[in-house]
């Protein structure tokens, strides 16, 4: 395989025509079966304190308890499984990606579990705990500046180098952190699990709220949730300082994230050409919340729920607590169902540097 073909292959994966997306409920359910040996079925927990504060029944899907401490292992595992299903020998495959942390960790671990080589491009400003974890899982890491352009350009250079290293017999494939139908399919398994668990708890979901950055989770979960329950309201939760998804949703055209300023480092990425049209089709609204709200929600979870989550994971609860737009949606749902709504939120990850978390909590008291 030539360098030019590989670089072209990567570009088509990153900028794939949305019309080529083939994510369906059936493909998501099949993906869940394929990846089950490699992931955890994460628990759903409740808190009477949280319910009282929100005036709703809140079901918290704990992907912070997932392997690598984040939901990203689902999409990463399914992506590699899909590549290998084409008859490729694991020892001949190298997967490449760029990520600030959780997707990098996930792809690195999934590759190690399946006997595949992994090369990750990471921004220098990624949290140290995430950098160390990626290297600990055995990935080759190249660092770059913190911009999206730097990530993409460095990834192209790495792809060329990996093609040359692999020679004529190896396969080198780029796996986007979010803008990839395989990633969207894998992340959609969260909703399939959560809706089933909520029904088992006799609290079928009326509303589902997930974080949104690049949109892989929200796209996959919204598609799956609407297919399983067309009446469910699906809401994306986004930091106010990185509101490209909110702007894209409300303007009807894809808006870039030009200078995101938020503590939720996992949600600074723009929506992609694959995730955006799925979100526009299946998501009911996107709500934003300030960094202060995110910190308050995170501290509430630490103090009252007793679990560790990262800032990005706190955004859905922060939206439920503090977004006036969300409260209007919830009130409408409550009037329709005649009871307090059952709201599922996804704690997307728990990879944090504790000293920084303590500093964030201390900032609330100044």
For 297-332, how does the pLDDT look when each residue is reduced to its tens digit (9 = 90+)? 999 999 999 999 999 999 999 999 999 999 999 999
Q: Is the pLDDT score of 79 beyond 90?
A: yes
Q: Average pLDDT, whole number, for the chain?
A: 91
Provide the pLDDT for residue 1: 28
Q: Is the pLDDT score of 19 beyond 60?
A: no
Q: What is the mean pLDDT of residues 241-263?
A: 93
State the catalytic residue, choosing from 100, 155, 176, 222.
100
Q: Is the pLDDT score of 17 beyond 60?
A: no
Q: What is the mean pLDDT of residues 38-65?
A: 98
- Taking Cα atoms as reference points, which of 361, 345, 231 lies closest to residue 284? 231
Q: How confident is the model at residue 15 (pLDDT cuts 50, 70, 90)?
A: very low
Q: Is the pLDDT score of 2 beyond 80?
A: no
State the catalytic residue, choosing from 61, 67, 72, 156.
72
Provide the pLDDT for residue 160: 94
Helices (H), the chain: 3-14, 25-35, 48-54, 72-84, 102-114, 128-136, 148-166, 181-200, 216-228, 244-251, 275-282, 291-300, 311-322, 324-337, 354-364
Q: How confident is the model at residue 115 (pLDDT cuts 50, 70, 90)?
A: very high
Provide the pLDDT for residue 290: 98
Mean pLDDT is lowest, of 197-201, 212-216, 361-365, for 361-365
Q: What is the mean pLDDT of residues 161-187?
A: 92
Is the pTM here over 0.85, yes or no?
Answer: yes
Provide the pLDDT for residue 244: 96
CB 56 within 8 A of CB 330: yes
Provide the pLDDT for residue 126: 82
Q: Is the pLDDT score of 12 beyond 70?
A: no
9 or 183: which carries more pLDDT confidence? 183
Q: What is the mean pLDDT of residues 145-160?
A: 90
Provide the pLDDT for residue 14: 33
> How far, in Å, are 33, 47, 261, 358 from residue 295 at the CA level?
36, 19, 14, 10
Q: What is the mean pLDDT of residues 6-12?
A: 33
Q: What is the mean pLDDT of residues 138-164?
A: 92
7 or 98: which carries more pLDDT confidence? 98
Q: Could you confirm whether 156 is annotated as catalytic?
A: no
Q: Could you confirm whether 312 is annotated as catalytic?
A: no
How far, rounded to the nearest angstrom, does the alpha carbon of residue 2 sit from its chain's CA centroid? 32
- Taking Cα atoms as reference points, which of 221, 219, 69, 79 lies closest to residue 130? 69
């Amino acid at each position: 395989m030539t360098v030019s073909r590989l670089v072209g292959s990567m570009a088509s994966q990153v900028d794939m025509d949305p019309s080529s997306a083939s994510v369906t409920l059936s493909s998501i359910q099949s993906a869940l079966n394929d990846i089950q040996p490699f992931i955890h079925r994460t628990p759903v927990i409740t808190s009477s304190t949280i319910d009282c504060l929100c005036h709703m029944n809140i079901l918290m899907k704990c992907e912070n308890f997932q392997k690598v401490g984040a939901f990203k292992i689902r999409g990463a595992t399914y992506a590699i499984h899909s590549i290998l299903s084409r008859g490729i020998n694991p020892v001949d495959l190298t997967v490449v990606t760029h990520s600030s942390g959780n997707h990098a960790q996930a792809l690195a671990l999934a590759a190690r579990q399946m006997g595949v080589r992994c090369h990750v491009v990471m921004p220098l400003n990624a949290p140290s705990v995430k950098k160390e974890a990626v290297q600990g899982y055995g990935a080759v890491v190249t660092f770059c500046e913190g911009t999206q352009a730097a990530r993409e350009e460095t990834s192209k250079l790495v792809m060329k180098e990996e093609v040359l290293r692999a020679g004529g017999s190896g396969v080198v494939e780029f796996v986007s952190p979010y803008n990839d139908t395989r990633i969207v399919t894998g992340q959609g398994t969260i909703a399939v699990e959560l809706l089933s668990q909520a029904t088992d708890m006799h609290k079928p979901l009326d509303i589902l709220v997930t974080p949104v950055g690049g949109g892989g989770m929200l796209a996959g979960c919204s598609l799956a949730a609407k297919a399983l329950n067309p009446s469910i309201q699906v809401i994306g939760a986004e930091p106010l300082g990185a509101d490209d998804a909110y702007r894209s949703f409300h303007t009807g055209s894809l808006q870039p994230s030009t200078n995101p300023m938020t503590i939720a480092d996992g949600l600074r990425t723009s929506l992609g050409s694959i995730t955006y049209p799925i979100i526009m089709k299946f998501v009911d609204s996107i709500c934003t919340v300030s960094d202060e709200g995110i910190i308050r929600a995170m501290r509430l979870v630490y103090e009252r729920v007793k679990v560790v989550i990262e800032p990005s994971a706190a955004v859905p609860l922060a939206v439920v607590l503090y977004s006036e737009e969300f409260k209007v949606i919830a009130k409408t749902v409550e009037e329709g169902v005649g009871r307090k709504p059952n709201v599922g939120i996804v704690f997307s990850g728990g990879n944090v540097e504790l000293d920084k978390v303590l500093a964030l909590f201390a900032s609330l008291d100044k």
